[in-house]
Structure 1
């Protein structure tokens, strides 16, 4: 059964489990005590074995576990830190200190995506001696767990109440809680009952002042946005985004602040800031093991990558987000996946995903998710040239301006759909609302979109306006918008009878969309190019780009159910390299998840892959 040498090895892992489960509590404690006394053991393992060997509360061991938790968190082991803190709370003899440690453990469990254990630890803390601050912290943790686990529409009210209770107890924590309340209310969006975004903003304006660091800058910027309007808030919000860009966030900071900062950059038409902050958010959450935060970070980066035309890279992150959702039981909607499907332009699968997402978010009370789904639908339909249908989706995507980011993008889709269907009144009204943000932000992205929209409306020299739009967007990361501008310019030139000029821009648009994998827009560009008398190469539906040998092996292992880390270990490459290759595989095979890999793999690569 066992081999005894320098180490003790069981013949089979199940034997090890059987022996462990059959042992009496006292026997296990004796084993842990012996392991804790073994020479050369690292301090964290020793602390853990001492804790497991302890027959009852022991402050010395609990304090040692606290130190181990700090070390684990510093090296990105958030789950380990949560386990250390939970055990420390159990072994704490002093009731008041036990409450504090239980809340710290609950916070760590929440960040690690363990929502059930986090709630249980909060319940444990409630049975201890509580002062006003501890009661407020308990209320805050309950609200944070509700928001992270369910994205419930009750979260804004819970968080606002917690922030109000904290104002006279811990001003810094109160301000962070107001930021959480804003985040929750942004998710609920148009479905927010009481309180809404404006009510939270008014409460922030009346709250006690605190330090003026990047946290307060972003908080004050949000308060200004929802009380004074977009244009008035731009300077303050741009300073806040710049503060986050100039200072890297530390492991001690809450990574969720980066989502708010990245969303602010996107809302300000700051493509570079959005890209940097969303990528940083993903890196920080991965490095710290903050699984509860990772889906939110991935969603932001996925959409930023899609605007950049990097559909293959986005596909790999969509798969990672799906895996994290399954692991944590989180309920965040597949924001990035719906936009990815819309840009790919495969109507049947995209429509199924968008409709399912819309149903899910409306049942949960997530207005921002509904807005995002309507925007994705408008992108899909405009890409397919179905502008009358796109008009309805774009109206829904842009009718509620407080829904932060998608409302701006919905207006862009609404202008194109309205112009193409001859509804000039709707187009002009949408442009007036759009220009309030683009004119105030004055970035290359915003100015490019504004010039293109003016050209669509015929509000000026269209030729010059399209050229200005291409010039502005050519200096940005939003490559999809640049390609769409070439397409619209080419369509306008063809209708003006300038076929040779039109071909150049339509060819550019077709090549860019094809290289991205944006098939809907690519086919629209191909049809327009054909109308000028030039034939563009089109891919047959069953065309597949050949996989390299390494891509084939990675795809085969992924189809077998291996994780990125397992594939990397087997092939001696990093998990991130695996992720990058899988993105290319998804693009070449035209799939969006590992579940589809088996059927998409070439026949000779299916060896050992189960059906």
Structure 2
């Protein structure tokens, strides 16, 4: 062993090189993340120890997940941050408060787990600014859910910090929070190295055939090889995996110990905190001889902490113990531990059957876990409380609450399994409705909006005689889900209108429900007054968590009323409030829709930045991306391949997403002059149950119908627009009506009116689009000089916005008039990535690096790194110059 390496590192040259590269990257200021995957005993922990030895000049932080039925919120995060809390004061106040509450060192409102993640990211960044930081997380598959989510989020947001994060995960277990991170799969040792390792523990005792047979049986698993001497007198079990065989060998070793040693091992195995003090106190209560630790044959070491030779020892000890003995040990530990939640959990494990007092104590633990922002831990407490409940109704209520907490923690399938398992008949009417509501919410989160609408509508009907307010709120959710699915809206709207009315004066949510339901059942004209009232109430409503529930429907109403300023204000407000609240899931939804505003304003750089940020959040949280507005952006820019890719990414396209795909296809085909294809796509998007889409689809349908000579379709569009402009008279609606009339033959006066009205809005592409159509009409009328003026203006606008499809169409039309359009050169600032542009814009607007980081869920160090790239690309040296370089790109839109 002249190398000085651990025996199980024999032959791990390529793996050690990979780990050394991770450390080198962190030394150079480039964050690096690696997930080591492998079966039990294959050497993952030893490789982490290698990293710790190699991390000269680093601050090293260790975290270890512990296999246990018990889950304490942010237990793993506390291991990571406990010795860093002196640096917390450097964090922005919202982050500092969130991390303090999560770790239980301060009190306050339950924080959003992703705000805790941002706080952790900022904290690690601050630590690494003075000295590189290596975070080594062993047995990550056993981290509590809250810690796993936070550490997974941090791993995805690290970029320009001197931080290395290395996780070890036991196969075949999966850790969703670490999906799609760089991986290193650790297999067994090569035969030569396995034989060399075997010779260190069994020197000179084996002939070649026996040695090769043992190497083959262990499949090169180092721990299995090291444990072979204790198993020479037992038969081989070729079909069992190494982890199972090792556990069985540990169990056989237990049989050789005296009763005191076995009991001490069981006490240590049953207490997940690895704190020696309660282990010794419980052992004393059970009459264990204090010298028993010397008789465990190296399976257990108790110093200040409790350490097993390997995690498999813990599971082997606990699994082999008789049930009654485990209960006795948990009862002793319940008297020995000081922490309230652990005491309650041990009492639950000690209970021989249902026990209402223990169930109530666990329920109180769940309340405390929720207060710290740990829904996963709350779910575990509540589920155990449910199984120990003596009253069927209380059992069902607690299991329902556990399912809700699992949903909040993002564990959707386990939440559904709990709902399937509970006895809904034991609940009252409100409880049964809550089951349906939760099923609907889970279905919506799983991108099954049709199922969501069905469950929610059924729940609303059950709630009508029980809780009218909650019934109306649920009907509103059902209508929102039905909008995404594209079906069932009529029945839900009719049921909502037949439900008991809201008290007067109506709140914003009540007004929204009345307006949307009337819109579905009676049409735009009849609903217009209710729509306007609802929009006013929502715009005046305070920013709170309830506001999130109405934001999506309110934006639909603003679009249905052709109110671009209200649409823009609501979208920006949704995004801003989500950022300020640290609600990353809500921010992802807001960023999924906000690019639509940017596209229709012609600000493609902001649209790309928002789409990129939404995707980054989806990647960080493990949620599916909602960036389907990318289809519309690609269509306006004439990027056919990008549109196809974006459409495929959102398959199956149905409901609102299907409408988006059809609408985007119509834009693309019209821009490229393929009007027959545009007509087919626009016709699919122009459907009665696609609320709010008329303002966008009508120009596409009208142009395509006019260019293909479909006078009947064009006439129906004129009638449709006239019906709306009788009651909804905005520059957007009247401009669109004028454009449709112009395409139908009204000519110059109508075109000029449309250009004038669109010009009074921020809808720059639509104004340029009308100038293009007007210029084409003038050119066909033989008025070349007048046509050039309109076509030149359209070309310049489209080219400046990067809408290459329409720009090329305008350029070709200009060429027909005898004028050659000067191709615009790409400015240096267009070389900025979407995120660099977003950061540069925020810096220009006066935000500091920490403020930009908090807004974009990045560390200040990463923001600083991006700013250096911005300065280099733009050829500037200070933020003040950004105002000139980015002039015209206003904040907002």
TM bucket by the smaller chain?
0.7 to 0.9
| Preserved CA contact (<8 Å) 1:415 1:428 | no
Residues 581, 506 of structure 1: CA spacing in aligned structure 2 closer, same or farther, 3 A cutoff?
farther
| Distance change (3 Å), C-alpha of 1:465 and 1:83 | same
Q: Is 1:337 equivalent to 2:638 in the alignment?
A: no
State whether residues 596 and 629 of structure 2, in contact with CA within 8 Å, keep that contact through their aligned partners in structure 1.
Answer: yes
CA 1:142 to 1:332, structure 2 compared with 1: closer, same or farther past 3 Å? farther
- Asked if the contact 1:491–1:506 (Cα under 8 Å) also holds between the matched residues in 2, the reply is yes
Following superposition, the deviation at residue 68 of structure 1 comes to 6.2
Identify the match of residue 764 of structure 2 among 464, 479, 483.
Answer: 479
Give the RMSD, CA atoms, in angstroms: 4.1
| Alignment check: 8 A CA contact 1:445 1:472 kept | yes
Q: Is contact 1:509-1:525 (8 Å) kept?
A: yes
Task: State how 1:188-337 maps to structure 2 within 5 Å.
Answer: 188-189=485-486, 192=487, 196-211=488-503, 212-251=506-545, 253=546, 255-288=548-581, 293-326=586-619, 334-337=627-630
Deviation at 1:568, TM superposition (A): 4.0
Q: Does the CA-based 8 Å contact 1:401-1:408 persist in structure 2?
A: no
CA deviation map 1:207-231 (0-9, x unaligned): 1122311111010011111221111
Q: Is 1:414–2:705 an aligned residue pair?
A: no
Q: Does structure 1 residue 432 correspond to structure 2 residue 719?
A: yes
- Kindly report which structure 2 residues correspond to 1:32-71, keeping only aligned pairs within 5 A, or say none: 50-52=340-342, 54=344, 55-56=346-347, 59=360, 62-63=363-364, 66=367, 69-70=370-371
Match of 2:433 in 1: 136
Greater CA deviation, 229-238 or 295-304?
A: 295-304
- 2:261 aligns to what? none
- Runs of 5+ in structure 1 lacking a partner? 35-47, 73-79, 556-561, 586-611
Match of 1:38 in 2: none
In the TM superposition, what is the alpha-carbon distance from 1:381 to its structure 2 partner? 0.8
> 1:130 and 1:143, CA in 2 relative to 1: closer, same or farther beyond 3 A?
same
| Whole-Å separation in 1 of the counterparts to 2:748 and 2:658 | 36
Tell me, what secondary structure is at the counterpart of 1:385? coil
What CA distance in whole angstroms lies between the structure 1 residues aligned with 2:735 and 2:838? 43
Call closer, same or farther: CA 1:146–1:380 in 2, change over 3 Å: same
- Please state how far the C-alpha of 1:379 moved relative to its aligned partner: 0.3
Q: Would you say the 8 A contact 1:411–1:431 is kept in 2?
A: no
Corresponding position: 1:403 with 2:696: no
Partner Cα distance (1:452, 1:552) in 2: 35
Q: Deviations over 1:467-496 (max 9, x none)?
A: 221222122222221121222222222223
On the 8 A contact 1:160/1:200 being kept in 2, the answer is yes
Match of 1:86 in 2: 379
Change (3 A) 1:539 1:116: farther
Q: Deviations over 1:53-106 (max 9, x none)?
A: 642356567547535635x5xxxxxxx252353255257576666755654554
Q: Note closer, same or farther for the CA distance 1:250–1:544 as it changes in structure 2 (3 Å cut).
A: closer
- Any gaps of 5 or more consecutive residues in structure 2? 1-51, 53-59, 63-80, 85-132, 144-264, 280-337, 349-357, 841-852, 875-893
Q: Is the 8 A contact 1:144 1:155 kept in 2?
A: yes
Q: Which has the higher helix share?
A: 1
TM-score, normalising length from structure 2?
0.54
Distance 1:553 1:522, change over 3 A: closer
What is residue 609 of structure 1 aligned with on the other side?
none
Change (3 A) 1:543 1:323: closer
Structure-2 change in CA distance of 1:385 and 1:108 (3 Å): farther
State how far apart, in whole Å, the 2-side matches of 1:519 and 1:477 are: 20
The residue that corresponds to 2:778 in the other structure is 493
C-alpha change, 1:339 and 1:56, in structure 2 (3 Å) is: farther
Shift of 1:319: 2.4
Alpha carbons of structure 1 residues 411 and 249: separation in structure 2 relative to 1, 3 Å: same
Match of 1:360 in 2: 652
Tell whether the 8 Å contact from 1:151 to 1:187 is kept in structure 2 after alignment. Answer: no
Which residue of the other structure, out of 244, 250, 273, is the alignment partner of 1:28?
273
Post-superposition offset of 1:116: 3.0
Alpha-carbon contact 1:351-1:377 (below 8 Å) kept: no
Structure 1 position 250, deviation (Å)? 0.8
> What is the alpha-carbon distance in structure 1 between the residues aligned to residue 465 and residue 581 of structure 2?
31
Q: Partners in 2 of 1:63 and 1:348 — Cα distance? A: 55
- Whole-angstrom distance in 2 between the partners of 1:574 and 1:316: 17
Structure 1 residue 121, shift from structure 2 partner: 5.0
- How many Å apart are 1:313 and its aligned residue? 1.3
Map 1:141-156 to 2 at 5 A. Answer: 141-156=438-453
Partner of 1:116: 413
Q: Indicate the residue corresponding to 1:595 in structure 2.
A: none
| 1:458 match: secondary structure | helix
Q: Is the 8 A contact 2:695 2:736 kept in 1?
A: no
Other-structure match for 2:257: none
- Evaluate the alpha carbon distance shift between residue 31 and residue 49 of structure 1 in structure 2; reply closer, same or farther with a 3 A threshold: farther
Q: Which residue pairs with 2:861 in the alignment?
A: 570
Change (3 A) 1:109 1:535: farther
Report 1:470-549 matches (<5 A): 470-538=755-823, 545-547=830-832
Q: 1:327 to 1:99 in 2, by over 3 A?
A: farther
Contact 2:778 2:784 in 1 (8 A): yes
Residues 459-478 of structure 1 mapped to structure 2, 5 A cutoff? 459=746, 462-478=747-763
Q: Within the alignment, does 1:441 sit opposite 2:737 as a pair?
A: no
Following superposition, the deviation at residue 351 of structure 1 comes to 3.2
Post-superposition Cα deviations, 1:322-358, rounded to whole Å, max 9, x if no partner, equal 344456665676430111110110223323433x257
Change in 2 beyond 3 A, CA 1:81/1:501: farther
- Cα drift, residue 373 of structure 1: 1.0
Deviations 1:176-228 (A, max 9, x none): 11111111221121xx2xxx222112111211122311111010011111221
1:371 counterpart residue number = 659
Query: How many residues are aligned here?
Result: 539
**Matched residue, 2:351:** none
CA distance 1:375–1:97, shift in 2 (3 Å): same
**Cα distance between partner residues in 1 of 2:760 and 2:676:** 32
User: Relative to structure 1, is the Cα distance of residues 541 and 302 closer, same or farther in structure 2, using a 3 angstrom cutoff?
Assistant: closer
Bigger radius of gyration among the two: 2
Q: Distance in 2 between matches of 1:31 and 1:437?
A: 75
Paired residues of 1:269 and 1:438 also in contact (CA < 8 A): no
Q: 1:109 to 1:90 in 2, by over 3 A?
A: closer
- The whole-number CA distance in structure 2 between the counterparts of 1:289 and 1:481 is 35
Q: For 1:498-528, what per-residue CA distance to the aligned partner results, in whole angstroms no more than 9, with x for missing partners?
A: 3333222222222221222111111112222
Alignment correspondent of 1:455? 742
Aligned counterparts of 1:438 and 1:332: Cα–Cα separation in 2: 36
Offset of residue 318 of structure 1: 1.8
Alpha carbons 2:424, 2:432 under 8 Å: kept: no
CA distance in 2 between partners of 1:426 and 1:165 (Å): 43
Shift of the 330–184 alpha-carbon distance from structure 1 to 2, 3 Å rule, reads farther
Q: Take 1:161 and 1:491, find their aligned partners in 2: how far apart are those partners?
A: 53
SS in 2 for 1:14: strand
Q: Secondary structure at the match of 1:164?
A: helix
